[in-house]
Chains A and B, each alone.
Chain A
């Protein structure tokens, strides 16, 4: 109660009480936050936080709208300040322009949904950076806030919770979409191959250096298409904006909508649904590198695994498989003498610089293309997007696909007659152009004999080869895989019918180990035609390099001239001192410089092919590698007309009028009815490894366990002196019982002793001369 008094002294108390009462009122009853007051901080907050207005708490007034601080809207329950209507009330173009965001709610960043399991919303100091609404769902306020970040609009749109520099905000939640090709996502921060004008026109953003980011293809609002893409991606039109050069795939067999319209990618989409690009590539959620959209085959070559996912027996491209014999993949070009550095190819033999080469894509061990990779894979030769680099049509006028050849078939380089694609890597094989093995040098060749693939293609095919060496032609040779490549032409009715090996020819498919010899210069092969270093066997190509006419790399002025033992595609010359022969037949080298070296004793001598010693080589005077006169020892001379298979050989020279007419043995032979064990057998049975080699022969003149004693039982025509494992001294002279090509110099261990006892050695050494034998008192 107010003190009310008439007394003047009480006035001050009265007024003090009055003031206190007024202050009490204002603190408790009077509402200072009447909405119609002038602008203040609270006014600005209530511009969006409308429910903070205290008018809603008053009982004496009715507000135009009810009090509802957290309404349930389309996106769920959330604060009124972040509802669609609140934001739109300014962003409707009348204040700020954001109408495109609201124009279509079809293609926009999802709202009103809970984040997927793939998304981890980042936290900062324990607080969620991108809050969800009360229902745990994404809403506008998840990314946007009127309280905003930096106003530098060049960096980042305003009213975002964090800066969005180069799509950093997108990546804050969607990191799994931006980790690059290794994890199956489109590359980011990399410049596109072409300027994507249609994306730019649609408002795409890029890094400062023009690299791709999320917002190069996507926009969170007012997108034109599904997946919030900036532009439509029907028929992969968005992909082609950047990858213009790939557009040509649409008219090829790799447009699977045309060739396998029901085939599905890993997302279960047909080509009609996914677009031609997404048949094989997906920008996100792909199967590893190359953003692969299909299942892959299980092969070691990760790159080929992609191709083989379709090009396999039960794949959608089962009519185009590579076969068992196919160009190798994951092999290094280093093996061909090509070094790779930063995408550039170098070659020590300089042939790379001679020709215009193309640096084909090479792969690393993971199947990825890189500038320092050196391995070949499918994509090295094939560009799966381009049917033909020279513009060969892929379809005929009726729209049917044309069968490919060496000018199409998705090859990166035309093959053509010069096998350009092959020669791009196989530098050393280019020498074949100047040889008879360049089939196009042959004038009278009929078209039916010409295969596709140019020079190389006549013998080799990169896929579906008929056997080893990727041979392109078939034949009926039955000796495993040996000689099959060569004999597909060098056969009776083949292209090289004039160059046959004949009935009697150097054996193939024989192991040098079994002959107790080896070679370090000539290649040997296994039964599958694979080159091996140990325990390999001889094949045609052991001696011949089908790509090089002569061992010294000489080119022919006329590719069609007749060859000899110094060329004829031989790896090593066989003329003169027969280096080729002695590379394997090492012990036979000892014939050089002996009386049996006809270059010394009878240089005019000719073998049955009419070759003199210089041309045939020392070995070639007696032995012919091909077209020999006799099977026995591949005899190269006219055999003597005698019954003994061995004597036929020796007496073809050691006879009147022949090369060895000065050395005709008066007594020819050991009695035919005497057959003995060979020393080799005796060695085995007696457990004695030191018996000299005294071979015996069967009726065909071949070494046998049991056989007759003949010329070659006592003589080794290649070695002048027993125990001296070296060539002769190069002088022609008369021999004696200590040399004369005799195999042995003592009698104790020879088979002769078994019958002839002590005088065996005399009979052995003086077999041909009765008089000589009688000189010795021990002779009986």
Chain B
């Protein structure tokens, strides 16, 4: 009896202590001061708006070639605008239409080697130009009777594969250079591995980082489509995503995710843990509907601010 009573008394103690601790912890939350959002300072280098007579309209994505030339999807004008590394206009590729080399509501872009790959969304194809703007070929995306609307394209030059997100099938599709579908995964849903309106893609070390817009996360898949990790979750707190659109990597593997409603760009470690938001003087920058982003080898961050009709270029190492 005495032994049983002693054990029993200890259990009670433990329970009381646990409950009281829990209460104290939560109450401390109420009275404790909120910590500020961790911010890393970046510096604006310049903004690209295009020529006065021919300005950018709703730029949706950006990529940079090995020479530092900047390729912007000038989506409102249904073309690609090419600028040099100082932001001066070089040329324009394509125009509105549905014929060869024309575009209709393009969204995503990738530059790989000497080729420019564009997700020509409403023409249901990936169009390929060389970096001088000469048309090379297009890959019509059809699955049975269904024409796919591509959102973004990312090129794995080593495996010679194209990764394409589909707006109307909620999938990530992998094609070879001839346009043959190799594999695809995803499908509409909220479960792990499922996607709701996949947007931009960033490839890093054979992993595909896909922005899953309406699930407010970035899902990370291997080459075979197996889910490896998820960065971000729905919300408005640091490390949470509301309307993610753009994803990019720096050389260290940090993941940059733009949020087109919140207007912030948050940085996660490669292991998907939140590090900080980008900003200045302790305050996150409120970009104007940021969508596609890109980080080049010089650690310059390129941000498409769609409703501001510009691409802003920042130094990540001010």
Which chain A residues have a beta carbon within 8 Å of chain B's beta carbons? Answer: 2, 4, 6, 8, 11, 14, 18, 21-22, 25, 29-30, 35-36, 39, 43, 47, 50, 53, 55-56, 58-65, 84-86, 88-90, 92-95, 97, 99, 102-104
Contacts and interface: CB of A to CB of B under 8 A. Distances in A.
Nearest to B264: A64
B262 interface: yes
A90 B286 CA distance: 18
Nearest to A30: B26
Interface residues of B, number: 61
A64 B58 contact: no
A63 B236 contact: yes
Contact of B15 (A18, A35, A55): A18
B244 to A, nearest CB: 10
Given A4-B12, A36-B235, A89-B261, A97 B284 contact: no
Interface string B59-78: 01000000000000001100
Given A36-B235, A64-B264, A92-B260, A2 B16 contact: yes
A88 B240 contact: no
A111 to B, nearest CB: 14
Interface string B93-120: 0000000000001010000000000000
B291 A50 contact: no
B5 interface: yes
Contacts of A29: 23, 26-27, 30
B284 A64 contact: yes
A43 B37 contact: no
Contact of B19 (A11, A18, A35): A18
22 contacts: A8-B5, A35-B234, A35-B236, A35-B237, A36-B240, A53-B235, A55-B236, A62-B37, A64-B277, A65-B262, A85-B263, A89-B261, A89-B289, A90-B213, A93-B105, A93-B121, A94-B291, A95-B213, A95-B214, A97-B122, A99-B105, A103-B76
B235 A85 contact: no
B105 A61 contact: no
Contacts of A53: 235-236
A35 B235 contact: yes
Contacts, number: 145
Given A35-B234, A102-B307, A104-B57, 6 more contacts: A18-B16, A55-B237, A62-B238, A85-B263, A92-B291, A93-B105
B237 A92 contact: no
Contacts of B33: 59-60
B36 A65 contact: no
B105 A94 contact: no
Interface string B2-13: 000100110010
A85 B286 CA distance: 12
A39 B242 contact: no
A585 B12 CA distance: 145
B14 to A, nearest CB: 12
Nearest to B235: A35
A736 B107 CA distance: 126
Nearest to A25: B23
B127 to A, nearest CB: 16
B214 A65 contact: no
A99 B289 CA distance: 13
B32 interface: yes
Contacts of B262: 64-65
A22 B22 CA distance: 10
Nearest to B76: A103
B58 A103 contact: yes
Contacts of B243: 89-90
A90 B266 CA distance: 19
* Top 3 closest pairs, chain A to chain B, by CB: A35-B235, A89-B261, A103-B76
A92 B58 CA distance: 9
Contact of B261 (A18, A55, A85): A85
Contacts of A64: 37, 236-238, 240, 242, 259, 262, 264, 266, 277, 284
A61 B36 CA distance: 8
Given A18-B15, A103-B58, A92 B238 contact: no
Contact of A99 (B8, B15, B22, B76): B76
B306 interface: yes
Nearest to A47: B214
Nearest to A103: B76
B178 interface: no
A92 B33 CA distance: 37
